[in-house]
Structure 1
Amino acid sequence: MTRQSRQMLIGLQLGNGYGSQPMSWRAPGVDPANYTSFDAQVRYAQAAERGKIQFFFLPDFAGLTSDVTNDSPQLTLEPLLTIAAAARATERIGFVATGSTTFTEPYNLARQFKTLDVMSHGRVGWNAVTTSDPNVAANYGAQIAPRPERYQRAHETIQIVQSLWGSWGEDAWLKDTETGRFADPDKIVPINLQGQHVASRGPLPIPPSEQGQPVIFSAGGGEYGLGLAGRYAGGVIGATFSIEDARAQRESIREAARAAGRDPDEVKFFAGVMPAIAPSVREAVDRRLRIGEYSLEKRLPYLGSMLGIPIEASRLDRPLTPEQLSAARPSPFDPRAPRALEVAREGWTVREILAHGVIDYHPTPVGPASVTADHMQEWFEAGAVDGFWVSVDVYEDGIDTFVDEVVPILQERGLFHTEYEGSTLRDHLGLPRQYGLDPRLH
């Protein structure tokens, strides 16, 4: 076995009780009642922990926009409560939950996430995001503020949250039954922070966890997102379809960290991947065809726009004609388009092209577990990522498949660890301890 000094990090996406594909609730072996089953969430977390996965990543959307006639919503149960259930049934795996800086007060965020961090013995991260969807805003009786204002509030919120986390001194809790001194009040102090958008007096009456305080994650892009990630994030959840773009995103984040006065190695960049795993490419495509039985046809118009040609519904179960392939031009506005044309030229039917995941939100390696492992190895060794967040198509069997088939290949190649080296999320990510605000920021 070849052993590398640098090894990749892996997180798994956890959205609902079914999987990342819209029709995963109808997949063979899936209990349709998993929509509200915390037992299912716990089972998935335990399976991931068996594979030494560093963390589960829980995105969030505080609203309902999907057509529930056939599709299940992708983001359902409240993520912090989901973590509470799963953390009590696991010992080592970390949990990163999304929390909005736009519609949550900093004291609430500080209290909830630090409570979870204490409950889990230091295994929690906060994916701090601004909210830009008007459907979510409507659920809070509000409207979406301009982007600069939302990000200004985000900066203020994160600074207040971290100040609150540090407001109970690390050695303030005495627990001295002999003298009767419970805590040292001189080491538990208000923060008295007032910004333009949010404020808090403090202190927060919660001692540190084993990792001190939760790890900040970020999922935003662009100038504003880079500013947030560079100053605060220990992990960045990315979306990219090429090694070149991933490498550019990672370096931009690292440069933003340098500019903020931080060590760029303390910011880990995770690219998404949505594998379709089966013993062969044919079987992997058939699996996706079964899962997407009712949803693939809805994607047909978008496939046509990606390739710059009209595709009639009558051609769903036939390959594109030579004339269509000759006329096809990948859209310069969609980075997935070249892959879609590549698959089309292999002679697959239109329905099978879609089943290759060419319109998925992240790259979709299709075929045996080695194909997914090869994809991850290529990106990692090219310096494009520090790791991946993996969106499994059907959790019920897909997490076990990833853990039992992909992980051992990565371990055999020396690309992924074989055991947890520590007990906290910071340990898993190789991040230094932090308590309160980062004093290096400028």
Structure 2
Amino acid sequence: MSQKMMLLSATLSSGYGVQGQAWRAPENDTRNLTDVEVQVKLAQTAERGKFAFLFAPDFPGARGDMENQAPASTLDPIVTLSVLAHETTRVGFIATGSTTYNEPYNLARQFKALDVLSRGRMGWNAVTTSDPIAVANYGEQVRPRAERYERAHEMITIVQALWGSWGEDAWVGDVDTGQFLDMDQIQPINLGGKHIASRGPLVIPPSEQGQPVVASAGGGEYGLGLAGRYASVAVGSSTYDFATTRQEREMYRSAAHQAGRDADELKYFTGFMPIMGSTVEEAIRRRMQMDEHLAPQRVPMLGQMLGLSLDASRADQPLSGPQLESARANPADPRSSRALEIAYQGWTPREILAHGVIDYAPSPVGPPEAIADYLQDAFEAGIADGFWLQQATYAIADDFVDEVVPILQKRGLYHRDYQGSTLREHLGVPRQYGQDPRVS
């Protein structure tokens, strides 16, 4: 029996990186927001690293400190991935698409067309939309959670039915008889629910993997139910607490089993945000270059994590003895224990922050070996099937692929080449066409 290998993916963001201040990083051009060649380079880097897919989050609206921070998402995931699919041959793609503010026929058509054109490398991250800023763009109020997920179930069911409405052998193409299609295999679905409906059929043939993979990034009872029934990829929470992450993975696997599926068909991914350099000190210096403008806002936040009143004017002075004696990890913030541990090591507040202690994903710090050690420990602890690289700036993806991936390969933790050409093959999940007959 072959050894199980970890899976890797990366974030497709706005062209700078996932951090709002990444546009100010020395390696970034300030105009990267609209330069698709930057995205192409990232996709080709991920392919060089044999990543399973690039993951494109999305937010249909304007939010955050847009005066000082770059948007987190691409201009439009589907449009961007249309370009990237043409410029790559193996790496997969998963794009976010709202089940709340789309119609099933449009969504089914876009994702299946891109799956066919990419030769079976596409996935759909099916999410509900509840942020008031995004909802206002559709002239609505936020819908109740139960209603959003009821619609999401209907949406995925109808989309998958549309994907399967062109029979797998319907394309005849017989020049002698003049028959192009076997119309007995292309039939309307006439499927609807409480919120949406579609007649069909969708006139797009199957791809090499049949149809797109479904992914889910929602949590809680409703999110687990959705993922368990339909998803092949679950994008879970990101924490240094291996026990908590492992428990969440088991919850997703249990949801798939309860839906009548094999739990191994649902691959759980958790995020990480490495801070890399030849030494820990160099890694911290590189991160401080990007974050140097953020100390006034973030030092007080660090103080709240440690139960202290910290002044940004003293950001470059280590905490005093009395401060360290009275510092306590905030029980309401799971990141604060690590912040306290780093503070005890004698780093200044600015340097503590550069360790990524307020990042929304674990931030292993140091040379490539240290990053590989973290991933090995996490993988062998059974917390995830795969790890989602959230690169603070795009340059980190190159460093990771060139320096960390070879270490993982040498340790026998990561494959040296793709074992197939489709996203389903990369993930090790079965081919599917139409609705899953196991899921009622």
What TM-score results when the alignment is normalised by the length of structure 2? Answer: 0.98
Alignment partners' CA distance in 2, 1:197 and 1:46: 40
Q: What's the offset of the Cα at 1:4? A: 6.4
Q: What's the offset of the Cα at 1:49? A: 0.7
Letter of the structure 2 residue corresponding to residue 382 of structure 1: A
Match of 2:435 among 423, 426, 437: 437
1:256 equivalent in structure 2 = 255
1:180 equivalent in structure 2 = 178
Letter of the structure 2 residue corresponding to residue 216 of structure 1: V
DSSP 3-state at the match of 1:245: helix
1:315 equivalent in structure 2 = 314
Residues 88 and 296 (structure 1 numbering): CA distance in 2 closer, same or farther, change over 3 Å? farther
Alignment partners' CA distance in 2, 1:289 and 1:4: 42
Alignment partners' CA distance in 1, 2:64 and 2:21: 12
- 1:389 matched to 2:392: no
2:349 equivalent in structure 1 = 350
Matches within 5 A, 1:188-207: 188-207=186-205
Match of 2:72 among 59, 70, 74: 74
Residues 3-35 of structure 1, C-alpha deviations (whole Å, 9 max, x = no match): 961000000011111111222112123221111
Alignment partners' CA distance in 2, 1:210 and 1:296: 50
Contact 1:297 1:351 (8 Å CA) reproduced: no
Matches within 5 A, 1:3-402: 5-241=3-239, 242-395=241-394, 397-402=395-400
Letter of the structure 1 residue corresponding to residue 26 of structure 2: P
Letter of the structure 2 residue corresponding to residue 364 of structure 1: S
Identity %: 59
Alignment partners' CA distance in 2, 1:296 and 1:156: 46
User: 5+ unaligned residues in a row in structure 2: which ranges?
Assistant: none
Letter of the structure 1 residue corresponding to residue 371 of structure 2: T
User: 5+ unaligned residues in a row in structure 1: which ranges?
Assistant: none
Contact 1:4 1:414 (8 Å CA) reproduced: no
DSSP 3-state at the match of 2:417: coil
Residues 107-161 of structure 1, C-alpha deviations (whole Å, 9 max, x = no match): 1110100011001000000000111100000111111101111111111100011
Alignment partners' CA distance in 2, 1:431 and 1:253: 15
Contact 1:426 1:433 (8 Å CA) reproduced: yes
Contact 1:21 1:291 (8 Å CA) reproduced: no
What TM-score results when the alignment is normalised by the length of structure 1? Answer: 0.97
Contact 2:12 2:74 (8 Å CA) reproduced: no
Residues 332 and 214 (structure 1 numbering): CA distance in 2 closer, same or farther, change over 3 Å? same
DSSP 3-state at the match of 1:438: coil
Alignment partners' CA distance in 2, 1:204 and 1:298: 51
Show structure 1 runs of 4+ deviating over 6 A.
none
More divergent stretch after superposition (260-269 vs 49-58): 49-58
Alignment partners' CA distance in 2, 1:295 and 1:106: 42
Letter of the structure 2 residue corresponding to residue 256 of structure 1: A
Residues 350 and 4 (structure 1 numbering): CA distance in 2 closer, same or farther, change over 3 Å? farther
Letter of the structure 2 residue corresponding to residue 140 of structure 1: Y
Q: What's the offset of the Cα at 1:240? A: 2.6
Residues 275-333 of structure 1, C-alpha deviations (whole Å, 9 max, x = no match): 00110110101111001121243222322222222112222111122222222221222
Alignment partners' CA distance in 1, 2:120 and 2:99: 22
Alignment partners' CA distance in 1, 2:101 and 2:278: 45
Relative contact order, higher structure (CA 8 A, sep 6+): 1
Contact 1:21 1:292 (8 Å CA) reproduced: no
Residues 344-393 of structure 1, C-alpha deviations (whole Å, 9 max, x = no match): 11111101111110010100001001111111111111111101010111
